[in-house]
Every structure is written in structure tokens, then in C-alpha cells.
């Protein structure tokens, strides 16, 4: 199943693109729902793989989660991911420049988790709406997180 969640940010895509490269941003916008423990690194690198211990609400272990950065360009971040809950969690972030210095931001997630796919698809919709709300707060606070 595919989940696609889109919003408009009042920021240019170049600034958003620079922030997307930061691993700490992922950790910040995922909390308090998901926590990524493990690898200590500053930024994502195209062609690299990372492994984290994934936790729900900081205390409920969800097993290992692997992220392979397939594409990291100015207007796109694409990862191939998998974990204990979802055998396929491929995530693409796409940025589109709009007039007036605005940006359309889309999270698109391909999910395959056997009998749990539908439930994880619902979770993805809620989780990525949460992430996009946090993005908006970060932008309003001039990228201080």
C-alpha cells in the first residue's frame, strides 16, 4: 500500500533540502511517537545504510530498523527501509517550489507488512501528519530544534 501526505511550507525548498540531510532532524520530528536509537551521525549520505533500534513512545521496542539512502538530491530524498514490523517501508520526500517562496512537501511511503499492512498504513498517515506539523513549527522557529 502507498501512503502519500502533502503540505505546503512557507519556506523555500533549498532551506528545507539542507535540513533534510540532518539525522537529528529525523529524530526530532519523529519524537515523541518514534525514537531512533543507535547510529551516531550528523548527516545522511547517498548510498549509505544505517541501522537503528526503533522504539514506540520511547519505551516500546519495535526491533531493528534499517535505512538505505537511495537518493539525496536538492528536491528529493528517497530511502529503502525495512524493520521488524514492516518488511518494506520505502520513503520518498519530494519538494516542489511554489510561487512566493513557498514549498510543497510530500511524504510518500510504500508499505508492505503482510497481514498488518493496512494497520501500519493507517499509522503512517497519522505519523507523517505529526511529522509535517513539527516541520511547520521548526520553520516558524527559524529552524531551531
- Considering the domain boundaries, does residue 130 fall inside one? yes
- The pTM (predicted TM-score) of the whole model is 0.91
Mean residue pLDDT of the chain comes to 94
Distance between CA atoms of residues 45 and 145, nearest Å = 21
% of the chain exceeding 70 in pLDDT? 100
138 touches 31 (CB < 8 A): no
The CATH number assigned to the domain holding 92 equals 3.30.530.20
Q: Which domain holds residue 128?
A: 2-140
- Considering the domain boundaries, does residue 145 fall inside one? no
- Considering the domain boundaries, does residue 131 fall inside one? yes
Distance between CA atoms of residues 100 and 102, nearest Å = 6
83 touches 89 (CB < 8 A): yes
- If one counts every other C-beta atom within 10 angstroms of the C-beta of residue 122, the result is 12
- Considering the domain boundaries, does residue 38 fall inside one? yes
pLDDT for 1 beyond 90: yes
DSSP letter at 86 equals -
Task: For residue 68, name the pLDDT band (cuts at 50, 70, 90).
Answer: very high
3-state DSSP call for residue 58?
coil
Q: Which of 81, 78, 79 is nearest to 89 (CA)?
A: 81
- Considering the domain boundaries, does residue 128 fall inside one? yes
134 touches 29 (CB < 8 A): yes
Q: Count of domains in the chain?
A: 1
Amino acid at each position: 500500500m502507498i501512503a502519500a501526505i502533502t503540505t505546503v511550507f512557507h519556506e523555500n525548498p533549498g532551506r528545507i533540502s539542507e535540513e533534510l540531510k540532518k539525522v537529528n532532524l529525523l529524530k526530532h520530528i519523529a519524537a515523541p511517537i518514534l525514537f531512533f536509537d543507535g547510529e551516531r551521525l550528523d548527516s545522511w549520505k547517498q548510498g549509505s545504510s544505517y541501522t537503528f533500534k526503533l522504539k514506540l513512545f520511547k519505551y516500546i521496542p519495535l526491533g531493528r530498523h534499517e535505512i538505505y539512502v537511495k537518493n539525496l538530491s536538492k528536491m528529493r530524498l528517497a530511502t529503502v527501509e525495512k524493520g521488524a514490523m514492516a518488511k518494506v517501508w520505502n520513503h520518498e520526500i519530494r519538494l516542489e517550489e511554489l510561487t512566493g517562496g513557498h514549498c510543497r512537501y510530500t511524504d510518500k511511503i510504500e508499505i508492505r507488512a503482510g497481514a498488518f499492512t493496512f494497520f501500519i498504513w493507517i499509522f503512517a498517515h497519522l505519523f507523517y501528519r505529526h511529522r509535517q506539523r513539527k516541520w511547520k513549527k521548526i520553520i516558524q522557529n527559524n529552524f531551531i530544534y
